[in-house]
A and B are shown apart, each in its own frame.
Chain A
Amino acid sequence: MFVRWTTAIAAAILLSSPALLQGARAADKLTNPQIAHIAYTAGVIDINAAKQAQKKAKNKDVKAFADDMLRDHEAVNKQALALVKKLNVTPEDNDTSKALSKQASEKLAELDKLSGAAFDKAYVANEVAYHKTVNGALETQLIPSASNAELKSLLQTGLKIFQGHQQHAEHIAAELK
């Protein structure tokens, strides 16, 4: 039963994240330079989304959430850059990163057309979905594939903080209804 549920959950995560499915199947082993690139790209995407929200959001909780996202994701990415430098790893672009970036720029354009409460709602809903996708990828692909202990540990810290972001976003989404 447990195995069946786990499989169902894994399948649901994979299905809900076409970008990640496209780039790397769960069975594929990602290399450390690829993992670093995906993690950093995922951070940049949320930073850009936060910057857009800082300009467009109306609700004060949504604005504060965007500030939180900017602060935390910049901190993680700063740490990631310091780590790749220390490990002498050059992040390597890959299909997963490309697919994530493409999806994200489409989302930015889509959100850009909205304003007021409609923007707030759409931004927060996307933050819930996005963190869910990234957290699923961290858990099922990036963390298990990372072969460097320090990289793995940074990804685990990332997962912990992003799970908090997801909860926070879900909480705001519920209040915006």
Chain B
Amino acid sequence: MPGRLSAIASAVLLVALAVPAHAAAIEITMENLEVSPKDASAKVGDTIEWINKDVFAHTATARNGDFDVNLPAKKSGTLVLKKAGTVDYYCRYHPNMKATLKIEP
């Protein structure tokens, strides 16, 4: 009996280990031509949601070409992070809007 219990326990543990920690959703706001937070940290597998509160269309465009998310006025856009690294991104329409995403493995 104890043997069976520990077997179940280790099975549960294995399952827990096999499934990565629950992926987080991270919100980044674009309002009045500012990105907030300007520096955000996330992990591979997390979802970034950019919320455009402006009446202007924006984009979240990675300088290294990793992503280019269109954000129409008053709309949001999401991206699931696939690759670790520090990515600088900006708005193609308003290049003064700049921000950084730190993606950990």
- B is a partner of A: yes
Q: When chains A and B are docked, how far (Å) is the Cα of A72 from the Cα of B57?
A: 8
B56 to chain A, nearest CB (A): 5
Interface size class of A (residues with CB under 8 A): 10 to 19
Distance in angstroms between the alpha carbons of A125 and B96 in the assembled complex: 20
Interface residues of A in 141-175 (CB under 8 A from B): 157, 160-161, 164, 167-168
Number of A-B contacts (CB under 8 A): 27
Closest chain A residue, CB of each to CB of B33 = A160
For residue A154, which residue of chain B has the nearest CB?
B55
Is A75's CB under 8 angstroms from B32's CB?
no
Q: A164-B94, A164-B95, A164-B96 are in contact. Are A75 and B33 (CB under 8 A)?
A: no
Cβ–Cβ contact B95 & A161, under 8 A: no
Secondary structure dominating the interface of A: helix
* Chain B interface residues toward A at CB < 8 A: 32-33, 55-57, 73, 93-96
Q: What is the interface of chain A, defined by CB distance below 8 A to chain B? A: 68, 71-72, 75-76, 78-79, 157, 160-161, 164, 167-168
